[in-house]
Homo-oligomer: A and B are copies of this chain.
């Protein structure tokens, strides 16, 4: 592992988050998957549960294969995605580091546009992530999407 300055770490993570949002928005979920290590956790939690310490999540993938399966299911469902997403992600905050695992947080807003071209705020919340650096760049060891917006009818369609 190469030594990195704090600035380099933050730039690399900010770039990853921008790419992450882009790949979801572009419906390139197979490439999006590359941001996760094999034993990574991906879950979506309501903010209220996080605050109250309740474990219940809206979606839970306990390893990369579970995330992979979700994408496969999405593709096989063979339904046209009638909404398009657009992520706007705030600057990540590096809140800790232990043994090369960086704890980061970043606010996000996802806007969704329907087939009539009408846009609405779809989901806002916070990414609470653990990031490791591999040879080909930063990866999520854990990604928890803490959603403020609990009223999400189409939540399970695409990742956030």
Chain A residues at the B interface, C-beta cutoff of 8 Å: 7, 10-11, 14-15, 17-19, 21-22, 25, 46-47, 84, 86-93, 105, 107-109, 111, 113, 116-121, 123-126, 148-152
* A151 and B118 form a contact (CB under 8 A): yes
Q: How many whole Å from A122's CB to the nearest CB in chain B?
A: 8
* A88 and B117 form a contact (CB under 8 A): no
A-B contact sample (18 more), CB < 8 A, given A22-B93, A119-B151: A7-B11, A17-B91, A22-B105, A25-B107, A46-B117, A86-B124, A86-B125, A87-B90, A88-B88, A88-B90, A88-B109, A109-B109, A109-B111, A113-B148, A116-B150, A117-B152, A119-B124, A119-B148
16 contacts between A and B (CB under 8 A): A7-B11, A18-B92, A21-B107, A22-B105, A46-B117, A47-B113, A86-B109, A86-B126, A86-B148, A88-B109, A113-B148, A116-B151, A117-B152, A118-B151, A119-B124, A119-B149
Which residues of chain B have C-beta atoms less than 8 A from A92's C-beta?
18
